[in-house]
């Protein structure tokens, strides 16, 4: 007697053993209309296949192997279930947004947690702990525009660093190893829209006051 437990190995049959897995979706006609169910099927595998661990691949390889053109999900593939990622891909295609936005809006992952995972592909996550107003290379009005654009240039020593809060398909472009970054974006860090907005509002009191006074005039 085999026990239908997913992921459990049953009794041996010669040099093979069976493994219970979910089979294809089957439509079943019922009293109240068509219903859908999934049945567990028995799969016989050689002992060697059960003992062999799949080869490890780098995250860049995982990104490149993602189907349906959603490389932005490669960095969280090890964090979320496959069914969640597949649903996010389908939803992103249907409404024309990045798949990471679907995950964030569905509360499957926070924006900051996603960006920390994305930054592991070659950059870092900026928390604005060590950046002052003097490090920003823009004036007050441009600083306000930076929050809307999701792009802020700062000076770090003699080096220019761009802080990016991804919006639109920015995350997809940054995560795709087949795309080359523009020359001006070779040095960048990621941050969340909330952190960038908080930094901008903290250092934009005067331009905000001028805009408010002009609007009331």
Share of the chain above pLDDT 90, in %: 45
The first and second tokens of residue 152, run together, are 């802020």
Q: Which residues contact 181 (CB under 8 A, 6 or more apart)?
A: 174, 188
- DSSP state at residue 45: E
In which residue are the tokens 């040095």 written? 187
Say if residue 145's pLDDT is above 60. Answer: yes
Which DSSP string corresponds to 114-165? HHHHHHTTTS-B--SSS--GGGB-S-HHHHHHHHHHTEEEEEETTEEEEEE-
Strand partners, 36: 27
pLDDT in tens, 29-61: 443 444 444 444 444 444 333 334 444 445 445
pLDDT in tens, 84-111: 999 999 999 999 999 999 999 999 999 9
pLDDT reading at 163 higher than 90: yes
pTM over 0.85? The answer is: no
Cβ-Cβ contacts under 8 Å for 208 (sequence gap 6 or more): 144, 201
Return d(Cα 164, Cα 150) in angstroms, integer: 6
Mean pLDDT of the chain: 76
pLDDT score at 61: 52
């Amino acid at each position: 007697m085999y026990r239908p437990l997913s992921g459990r190995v049953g009794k041996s049959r010669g040099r093979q053993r069976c493994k219970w897995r979910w089979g294809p979706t089957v439509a079943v006609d019922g009293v109240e209309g068509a219903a859908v169910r999934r049945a567990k099927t028995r799969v016989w595998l050689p002992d060697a296949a059960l003992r062999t661990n799949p080869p490890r691949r780098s995250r860049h390889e995982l990104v490149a192997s993602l189907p349906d053109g959603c490389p932005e999900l490669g960095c969280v593939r090890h964090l979320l279930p496959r069914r969640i990622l597949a649903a996010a891909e389908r939803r992103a295609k249907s409404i024309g947004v990045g798949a990471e936005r679907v995950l964030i809006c569905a509360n499957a992952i926070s924006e900051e947690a996603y960006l920390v995972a994305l930054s592991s592909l070659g950059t870092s996550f900026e928390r604005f702990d060590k950046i002052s107003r003097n490090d920003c290379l823009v004036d007050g009005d441009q600083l306000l525009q930076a929050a809307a654009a999701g792009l802020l240039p700062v000076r770090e020593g003699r080096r220019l660093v761009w802080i990016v809060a991804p919006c639109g398909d920015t995350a997809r472009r940054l995560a795709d190893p087949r795309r080359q970054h523009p020359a001006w974006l070779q040095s960048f860090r990621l941050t969340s829209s909330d952190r960038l907005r908080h930094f901008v509002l903290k250092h934009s009191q005067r331009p905000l006051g001028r805009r408010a006074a002009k609007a009331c005039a």
